[in-house]
Amino acid sequence: MLEEAVLQGVLGAALRTGGDFAEVFVEDRRSSSARLDDGKVEELTSGRDRGAGIRVVVGDTTGFAHTADLTEHGLRSAADAAATAAKRGGGGVRTVELTRRPAPRYTEVEIFPEEVAKATKVEILKRADSAARGMAGAIKQVQARYGDSRRRILVANSEGLLSEDDQVRTLFAVTAVATGDTGMQTGYNSTGFTVGFELFDTVEVEDFAREAGRLSLTKLQARPAPSGTMPVVINHGSGGVMFHEACGHGLEADLVGKDASVYRGQRGRSVASPLVTLVDDGTMGPEWGSFSIDDEGHPAGRNVLIEDGVLTDYMYDHIRSRKEGRDSSGNGRRESYRHLPMVRMTNTFLANGTEDPEEIIRQTPHGVYVAKLGGGQVNTATGDFVFAMTEAYMIEDGRITQPLRNANLVGNGPEVLRSIDVVGNDFAMGSPGTCGKDGQGVPVGDGNPTLRVSALTIGGTAGA
């Protein structure tokens, strides 16, 4: 993306005032999206964004500048600005010898989305619209959405690192709204992977859309959710978002260092049920949060955060790992070249257990079965969280019975980890997600096997 001689010169300029560390991050992103709303094309866009962010670190001070001018002059100007912001003095010239470091690729793209005609993408949305509407007259609204991106990045730093990645992602989602005696009910289904347009070789568009329609129709028959504390069984794939939010963020080293994590000082201690092993893994093939290198140029890693209930490690970016004299865990990520990197998750999941999922239901006399979880909020300093149940059912006499209207799960991350008393053997990853932190969003994945939390609060409107 840039000649090595130019990168060396820019890094030298960034270090001219005596910086401890300098980095150049270059990004070239192409993206397109299409949205069909009630049979009409409401959005059909494409775009390209190119630029570089330059970071200079002096002690505990970081200077950062970004530019869309990728000429040598533009880059040197940004380097001067970053160096001035982090100025320590000392002068002199430092020469950086760059060594290209290849990283393994965990998936290969067969059909680059930019090579596919927009009309072909819209046709997929039309097929989804027709399939969802064809399920029942009660389905009154359908929205189908397609998106893709290709993000090429290059990272070079004053420690001699030079690495590149080419990240392709493709997304497909359908929302269906059904109307009945209980008002309007919404069903949603989404899928996305770090692959190209070949995604649709494995996704049956009509069946996928009907699943969104099925959920909206099921909710028309739903009863109010109970309120109170009771056992909760969480379906495989759908509960990963809870562990991402309620536990994962608290294991990010920057929040730990700021004393904004309930897990500060807990390394080596028991923080969960012995059945719990929590992993963050950026190497998981085509999963949504996977990549070859993070946004600081370090290879993606598989990091075991909690093993058999014991907190074993935190997630790190490069700056925090340097301070602690250890290697980066490959968790330095940024939304774009306009942003500084920070510690972020990749694909975060609860590892497989040994129990039969159907047996878990049979061994639960009374409770709630959560088939799908939606978004939520967490206070990382305390671990308290709230999550939406977007598809849930009662468990009565060891059987899944009536569907429930949307309600919330309310709890505390550490308490939930300790209250997991059964873990199934049916691990699955969930839907693609975007994780927000300090105003930046990055793609992430999460997953889990079927599991049971012995006591969790349901924020419904009916009595328990």
Residues 412, 433: Cα–Cα separation, whole Å: 22
Domains of the chain: 4-31+45-100 (no CATH), 113-152+165-220 (3.30.2290.10), 227-459 (no CATH)
pLDDT of the residue at 462: 65
pLDDT of the residue at 94: 55
Q: Is the Cβ–Cβ distance between 82 and 54 less than 8 Å?
A: yes
pLDDT of the residue at 246: 85
In the predicted model, is pLDDT for residue 268 greater than 90?
A: yes
Name the nearest CA neighbour of 402 among 239, 184, 221. 221
Name the nearest CA neighbour of 277 among 315, 243, 305. 305
Residue type, 295: D
Q: Is the Cβ–Cβ distance between 462 and 226 less than 8 Å?
A: yes
In the predicted model, is pLDDT for residue 90 greater than 60?
A: no
Percent of the chain with pLDDT over 90: 88
Name the nearest CA neighbour of 198 among 315, 108, 82, 271. 108
Q: Is the Cβ–Cβ distance between 235 and 452 less than 8 Å?
A: no
- Give pLDDT tens digits for 401-443: 999 998 999 999 999 999 999 999 999 999 999 999 999 999 9
Residue type, 323: K
- Give pLDDT tens digits for 26-85: 999 999 999 999 899 999 999 999 999 999 999 889 999 999 999 999 999 999 999 998
The pLDDT of 142-156, averaged and rounded, is: 98
Residue type, 378: V
In the predicted model, is pLDDT for residue 307 greater than 70?
A: yes
DSSP 83-122: HHHT------------EE-----S---SS-GGGS-HHHHH
CA distances (Å), origin 116, targets 107, 442, 452: 19, 25, 44
